[in-house]
Amino acid sequence: NLDPKELVRAEKDLKREFPSGIPSCGTDALRLTLSTKSHEGFESFRLAQSAGAAQRFFLQDLCDVYIEFSKPVLYSAKNNVRKT
């Protein structure tokens, strides 16, 4: 969705800032952060914040990981059907 000039600039900036690539973040750290944010919202009666954190975890993390892990299985099943 970026302008082509902006995309080139962003790629150059990323290579300059992270020459070895962006370091990975473990799933445990991500889960801890999300559960902490959800718990903070629940404890302070900000239920919208708590529900939002839970929804973001479910939709953006859990579902995305499931879909990405399912792709090889689905694509290999599709190839097996074509071969038979």
Q: What is the pLDDT of residues 16-72, one digit of tens each?
A: 888 887 776 666 777 777 777 776 666 666 667 777 888 888 878 778 888 888 888
Instruction: Please give the residue that has the higher pLDDT: either 7 or 46.
Output: 7
pLDDT at 84: 47
**79 pLDDT higher than 80:** no
Domain that holds residue 66: 4-83
User: Residue type at 47?
Assistant: L
- Residue 2, Cα to own-chain centre: how many angstroms? 20
- Domain tally for the chain? 1
